Structure 1
Amino acid sequence: MTNNVQESLQLKKYLLIDGKKVEADKYTNLYSPYSGEKIAEIAMANETLVKEAISAADKAFPKIAGMPAFERAAILERFVALLTERSDEAARILALECAKPLTFAKAEVSRTIETYKFAAEEAKRIHGETIPFDASPGGVGRIGYTVRKPIGVIGAITPFNFPLNLVAHKVGPAIASGNSIVLKPASQTPLSAIFIAELFQEAGLPDGVLNVVTGSGSVVGEALIHDNRVQMITFTGSPAVGIGIRNKAGLKKTTLELGSNAAVIVDKNVEIDRIIERCVMGAFSNQGQVCISLQRIYAHEDIYDELVEKLTAATKQLKIGDPLDLNTYISALISKNETERAVSWIKEARQQGAIVLTGGETQEGILQPTILTNVHPTLKVSCQEVFAPIVIVNKVSSVDEAIGHVNNSRYGLQAGIYTENVNQALTAANQLEVGAVLINDIPTFRVDHMPYGGVKESGTGREGIKYAIEEMTEMKLIVWNQNL
């Protein structure tokens, strides 16, 4: 463990408001989900402190909005250099606060660096278009064009599962487009958010542009939603909370990245050996705590037995243990409550006739990677978001049948299909009710510049830097009359 990470243990972590460390009246202890070790004491903001952060962001907005694009890009580029230099430290913070195995933590840091690079590039590409007014008789003699303007203070509420990269998907485009931010990180993963904010200070971001306010959602989140100075809420989390935000936000803009129970279809004639590693990664990376984690596999009856046999054999090889061990693939879920919930869902499935091929139990407090078959579609492990290392594999007689099962869901984020048949691929692309269809890949694929978001209860709006910038800006039309 590096000295910097060691120093973070047992220390108080303050709020970051207007470039300053701010004390709170109340603190709460933060513990490692894996070891139970106390990591730090985290400030719990009250409504007054949240309003102070909003005031700081409101005051800083004209400064960041008026900053030339090349200067905003330069700040992001300096930040990228700093994070690259301290990438090992960032990865260990992730392993400590959310029990992310170090190999996956390092991958998240690399992706986060790339996400901010995209933000630096997109800062220079925010532009509008010219409008051919003379396409209408009433427009002759007029010239028009659009520009995109930053909207103001953005309230960002982020989850625990990718505490660096999902913060980047909100903070990066906000800075690139000239907005200020009040960031509320997940209660279990505030250390990475504070770390990021301190690096931005070092990179030269003006005070007040990025404020980090830790605390409960019922206090911090509610204050952000109800304050009229906050122009947008960008949230990643549960559908219940997201729907509540949408109902309370009024005319505020909202981007809501919510739940999923992502599925892949495996057609006949697919070479199973070529897809097993991808399916294992999709189902079990980050303990299955991924919005697009592979939760459901619908396999054609011709290849079902081979797929199940090889997937089970590969899953049994995964190493369970300490997230700081580079060989660990599976570690603890974010909390004991989440582990107990997941185990209860497996128990319910068993009682209703599901077969557990491997896993299904805890090992030193860690839920083993679990494969279930013969799962009825109404069971929680199938129709709800499991957010744990659990995958179901059910047999189907056709791609059409599989598409029906995939669509029989309140969610619609991403889905995949493996097939050698072009017509089946096109049918799936057209008929799957999701935000993205992956042909010959698992639904867990994401790169950080693609449009990312879903339909149904998977949310509204799109992330991916360019697309998030569109959400965080307003189009303004300028018309010149040459007829005078």
Structure 2
Amino acid sequence: MNKDLFINGRYVPAKQTYELYNPYNNQRLGSIANADEAEMLAAIEAADAAFAEMKTLPAHRRSAILNRAAQLMEERTEELARIIAQEAGKPIKAARAEVGRSVQTIRFSAEGAKWMNGESIPMDAAIGGEGRLAFSVNEPLGVVAAITPFNFPLNLVTHKVGPALAVGNTVVLKPAEQTPLSSYVLAEILAEAGLPAGALNVVSGEGAVLGPVLTADERIKKLSFTGSPEVGKLLRAQSGLKKLTLELGSNSALIVDENCDLERCVARAVEGAFSYAGQVCIHTQRIYVHQNVYDSFTAEFRKRMEQLRTGDPLDENTDVSAVINERSRKRILEWIEEARRMGAVVYGGETDGSVIRPALILNADPSSRVVCQEVFGPVVVIDRVTSMEEAVEKTNASRFGLNAGVFTRDIQAAFAAARKLEVGQVLINEIPTFRVDHMPYGGVKDSGLGREGVKYAMQEMSESKLIVVTL
């Protein structure tokens, strides 16, 4: 499946291309446009020119375009799922779920286009404000740059593209080098749905080359990035006064109290730890279990973990498939081995070609990288604690703060933990690897800044203007 650049509503041949391969079996998928600075500037120019039309497009028209796109995506679910499975190595059943969520995200955006509004301000609440009417309106910013990761190559794209278009912005999208195909198909679908030419431009290529073009160009009014903290900090330093949303990952923790529903908790924890081989920003990486249920929890967790099936992402029975590339595979295995050298007990973690079998690590040193950094792989660390307070303290002893989960039947303990946890979202009686597409989503500390979730992304992709009328 060869792909050129998608600029101003049509495909444009790139000067250079790169070869794209399936991360599971290394099968060639196609030649992909590898844009240079000039080609990125052409996409920005197209988006800037298209903004004149987009900002005046009625809300009902923007909503209709997005609803039509969602319908077309739904009709092409199997095609999109197979593309995700092949470019990302994601098991096909998980890829179908991602397409379903992406359809929902675009539909939420379509609804949001109609209700995005300002508020009235009671001017006479202040001395001297009598005789005046005031209200705010939300206006689009202009060109929004979106830089997206490989792990949810369609849904995390729709979380940026859908809200931006709903507000009336235009978009320049730079997808991850490994997973550009679903972004190009999304552009085709939106064009078919009636989106004005230039409102969405897709430019694939190297982030190190194209990122600085986006941060330097003053026509880009907003940058929305999902990726590593290191790159996020660099983009922030380069972006000047541009509005920013940065979603930068985590090493999310799950706290298991002694009085929880243990069977449900274990089942959900296994899913959270190994979905998409742990390559999820809110992957359940650390689990802190009360000492009174530690042995039974770990025994059942290990049993369920060993029942997971690894293999070809296109196999309907596969639970865990390849990690995204050889560099990631080597890093994950190195971190597992480091934990073992530092005294940890490791179950699983064997390799089968591009696949790493799920790994459970016990007695890990708190300074080992599988504990204090983001592993982004099929690895989970389980630690014994004596109390909820100790679990909260260990959870907070992290540079990250995206999601945390708490399983308990004690409502007082649940709310006490929720208030003390230094994260963006606390999930009570749920794993941290839980997200629905309309909830506010984002982190603190090195997990980033700003919030996604359709309504909240729309707010961050618009500008509030106050209008005061003296009567």
Quickly name the TM-score band, shorter chain normalised. Answer: over 0.9
Among 103, 122, 130, the alignment partner of 1:113 is 103
Deviation at 1:345, TM superposition (A): 0.2
Q: Post-superposition shift, 1:138? A: 1.2
Which of 368, 373, 394 in structure 2 is aligned with 1:384? 373
Match for 1:304: what amino acid? Y
**SS of match in other structure, 2:114:** coil
Residue 165 (structure 2) aligned to one of 175, 194, 208:
175
Question: How much is the aligned-residue C-alpha RMSD, in angstroms?
Answer: 0.7
- The one of 230, 237, 244 aligned to 2:227: 237
Alpha-carbon shift at residue 220 of structure 1 (Å): 1.3
Name the residue aligned to 2:390. 401
Match of 2:470 in 1: 481
Amino acid aligned to 1:200? L
Q: 1:26 is aligned with what amino acid? A: Q
Letter in 1 for 2:388: V
- Structure 1 residues 33-42 or 266-275, which shifts more? 266-275
* Superposition deviation, residue 179 in structure 1: 0.2
Partner of 1:434: 423
* Residue from 205, 211, 216 that aligns with 1:215: 205
DSSP-derived class of the 1:207 partner: coil
SS of the counterpart of 1:377? coil
Question: 1:25, CA displacement in angstroms?
Answer: 1.4
Amino acid aligned to 1:290: V
Indicate the SS of the match to 2:128. helix
Tell me the amino acid that sits aligned with residue 450 of structure 2: G
Partner of residue 293, structure 2: 303
Figure out how many residues of one structure are paired with residues of the other and give that number: 471
Deviation of 1:456 (Å): 0.2
The one-letter amino acid of 2:24's match is Y
SS in 2 for 1:13: coil
**Where does residue 84 of structure 1 map in the other structure?**
74
Distance between the aligned counterparts of 1:110 and 1:328, measured in 2? 19
Q: 1:282 — aligned with what?
A: 272
1:65 aligns to what? 55
Q: TM-score with structure 1 length normalisation?
A: 0.97
1:224 aligns with 2:207: no
Counterpart in the other structure of 2:361: 372
- CA displacement at 1:263 relative to structure 2: 0.4
The one-letter amino acid of 1:319's match is R
SS in 1 for 2:172: strand
Aligned position for 1:163: 153
Q: Distance in 2 between matches of 1:17 and 1:360?
A: 43
Choose from 445, 457, 460 the match for 1:456: 445
Write the distance in 2 (CA, Å) between the matches of 1:271 and 1:459: 32
Per-residue deviation, 1:137? 1.6
Query: Could you tell me which of 389, 406, 412 is aligned with 2:401?
Result: 412
What residue in structure 2 maps to residue 268 of structure 1? 258
Partner SS for 2:263:
helix
Return the alpha-carbon distance in structure 2 between the equivalents of residues 410 and 269 of structure 1.
29
Aligned counterpart, 2:91? 101
1:20 is aligned with what amino acid? Answer: R
Residues 50-102 of structure 1: per-residue CA shift (max 9 Å, x gap): 11100000000011110000000000011011001100000000000010000
Partner of 2:412: 423
Runs (5+) with no aligned partner, structure 2: none
Percent of aligned positions with the same letter in both sequences? 52
> Which amino acid in the other structure matches residue 257 of structure 1?
E
Structure 1 gaps, min length 5: 1-7
Describe the SS at the equivalent of 1:319. coil
> Equivalent residue for 1:5?
none
* 1:18 maps to 2:11: no
Give the CA deviation at 1:363: 1.8
2:282 to 267, 278, 292: 292
Q: What is the rounded CA distance, in whole Å, between the counterparts of 1:461 and 1:70 in structure 2?
A: 27
* Equivalent residue letter for 1:332: A
Is 1:354 matched up with 2:322? Answer: no
State how far apart, in whole Å, the 2-side matches of 1:231 and 1:155 are. 8
| In structure 2, C-alpha distance between the alignment counterparts of 1:173 and 1:199, rounded to whole Å | 16
Q: How does 1:136-155 map to 2 (within 5 A)?
A: 136-155=126-145
Paired residues of 2:259 and 2:410 also in contact (CA < 8 A): no
Using the alignment, how far apart are the partners of 2:148 and 2:68 within structure 1? 23
Instruction: Give the counterpart letter for 1:65 in structure 2.
Output: K
2: CA distance, partners of 1:272 / 1:130: 49
Would you say 1:197 and 2:196 are equivalent positions? no
Displaced runs of 4+ in structure 1, greater than 6 A?
Answer: none
Deviations 1:203-230 (A, max 9, x none): 1100000000011011211111110000
| TM-score of the superposed pair, with normalisation by structure 2 | 0.99
| Cα distance, 1:365 vs structure 2 | 2.8
Distance 1:175 1:481 in 2: 34
Between the aligned partners of 1:261 and 1:62, the Cα distance in structure 2 is 42
Deviation at 1:364, TM superposition (A): 2.9
SS at match of 1:314: helix
* Partner Cα distance (2:408, 2:68) in 1: 44
Aligned AA (2:23): P
